Structure 1
Amino acid sequence: MGGLLLAKMQRFLRKPWTFIIMVLFTLVFAYFMGGNNGTQTIPIAAEGENEISSSLLEQLNTSDELVFQSVTEEELRNQVQGNEVDAGILQNNKGYRILYTVESPNVTLIEQKLTQIVAEQNERQHLLGTGEENGLSEKQVDQLLIQVEEEPLFQIGMETFHGGESVVIDSRLQGIFGFSLFFVIYTISTLVAELFEERQMGIRDRLILSPVRKWEMYSANLIYSFVLGYVQIVLIFLVFRFAAKVDFYGGFGETLVALIPYVFSIVALSMFLTGFVKSIRQFNALIPLISVSLAMLGGAYWPLEIVSSPFLLALSNISPISYGMEILKGVTIYQLPFSELLFPISMLLLIGVVLMGLGINGMERR
Structure 2
Amino acid sequence: MIGILLAKLRLFLRFPWPFIGMTFICLIFAYFIGQGNEIKVSIPVYSNIENIETNSLWKQLKASDTFDFYLTSKKEVNKIVSEGKAEAGVELKQDSYRIIITSKTENVNLVRQYIETVYADVFRHDQIVKAVSSQANIEITKLKDTLAEVNETPIFSLNRANFRGDQTVVIDGKLQAIYGFSLFFVIYTIAYNVLHILLEKNEGVWDRMILSPVRKWEMYTSNLLYSFVVGYIQVVLIFLVFRFGAGVDFYGGFGKTLILLIPYVFSIVAMSILITSIVKNTQQFNAVIPLVSVSMAMIGGAYWPLEIVSSDVMLTLSKFVPITYGMEALKGATVYGYSLSELMYPMSILFLMGVVMIGIGINFMEKRRI
Confirm or deny a common fold (TM above 0.5): yes
Partner of 1:22: 22
5 Å-filtered alignment, 1:126-145, equals: none
Partner of 1:58: 59
Note the alpha carbon deviations across 1:124-167, whole angstroms, 9 max, x for none: 99x99xxxxxxx99978xx9xx8xx9999x99753122212321
Residue type of the alignment partner of 2:60: Q
Partner of 2:303: 301
Residue type of the alignment partner of 2:284: Q
Note the alpha carbon deviations across 1:266-304, whole angstroms, 9 max, x for none: 000000011111111111100011111111111001111
Q: Compute the TM-score of the two structures, normalised by the length of structure 2.
A: 0.82
Alpha-carbon distance in structure 1 between the residues aligned to 2:104 and 2:239: 32
Alpha-carbon distance in structure 2 between the residues aligned to 1:247 and 1:314: 31
Residue type of the alignment partner of 1:236: I
Partner of 1:192: 194
How has the CA–CA distance of structure 1 residues 187 and 109 changed in structure 2, closer, same or farther, with 3 Å as cutoff?
Answer: farther
Q: Is the 8 A contact 1:259 1:324 kept in 2?
A: yes
Partner of 1:355: 357
5 Å-filtered alignment, 1:138-157, equals: none
Q: Secondary structure in 2 aligned to 1:8? A: helix
Q: Secondary structure in 1 aligned to 2:90? A: strand
Partner of 1:225: 227
Alpha-carbon distance in structure 1 between the residues aligned to 2:200 and 2:16: 18
How has the CA–CA distance of structure 1 residues 115 and 82 changed in structure 2, closer, same or farther, with 3 Å as cutoff?
Answer: same
Residue type of the alignment partner of 1:207: M
Residue type of the alignment partner of 1:252: F
Alpha-carbon distance in structure 2 between the residues aligned to 1:208 and 1:115: 78
Q: Is the 8 A contact 1:35 1:175 kept in 2?
A: no
Compute the displacement of 1:27 (Å): 0.6
Tell whether 2:369 aligns with 1:345: no
Alpha-carbon distance in structure 1 between the residues aligned to 2:15 and 2:103: 46
Alpha-carbon distance in structure 2 between the residues aligned to 1:250 and 1:102: 41
Q: Secondary structure in 2 aligned to 1:337? A: coil
Q: Is the 8 A contact 1:57 1:69 kept in 2?
A: no
How has the CA–CA distance of structure 1 residues 163 and 93 changed in structure 2, closer, same or farther, with 3 Å as cutoff?
Answer: closer
Partner of 2:329: 327
Q: Is the 8 A contact 1:35 1:240 kept in 2?
A: no
Q: Which 5+ residue runs of structure 2 have no aligned equivalent?
A: 136-142
Q: Is the 8 A contact 1:187 1:229 kept in 2?
A: yes
Percent of paired sites with the same residue: 51
Q: Is the 8 A contact 1:34 1:176 kept in 2?
A: yes
Q: Is the 8 A contact 2:91 2:99 kept in 1?
A: yes
Partner of 2:293: 291
Q: Compute the TM-score of the two structures, normalised by the length of structure 1.
A: 0.82
Q: Is the 8 A contact 1:45 1:51 kept in 2?
A: no
Q: Which 5+ residue runs of structure 1 have no aligned equivalent?
A: 129-135
Residue type of the alignment partner of 1:180: S
How many positions carry a matched residue from both structures? 351
Moved more, 279-288 or 199-208: 199-208
Residue type of the alignment partner of 2:57: L
Alpha-carbon distance in structure 1 between the residues aligned to 2:261 and 2:108: 38
Tell whether 2:258 aligns with 1:238: no
Note the alpha carbon deviations across 1:333-353, whole angstroms, 9 max, x for none: 111111111111110000000
Q: Is the 8 A contact 2:57 2:122 kept in 1?
A: no
Compute the displacement of 1:186 (Å): 0.7
Alpha-carbon distance in structure 2 between the residues aligned to 1:104 and 1:229: 47
How has the CA–CA distance of structure 1 residues 28 and 114 changed in structure 2, closer, same or farther, with 3 Å as cutoff?
Answer: same
Compute the displacement of 1:82 (Å): 10
Cα-Cα RMSD = 3.7
Alpha-carbon distance in structure 1 between the residues aligned to 2:104 and 2:187: 38
Q: Is the 8 A contact 1:35 1:246 kept in 2?
A: no
Compute the displacement of 1:247 (Å): 0.1
Q: Secondary structure in 2 aligned to 1:45? A: strand
How has the CA–CA distance of structure 1 residues 3 and 83 changed in structure 2, closer, same or farther, with 3 Å as cutoff?
Answer: farther
Partner of 1:132: none
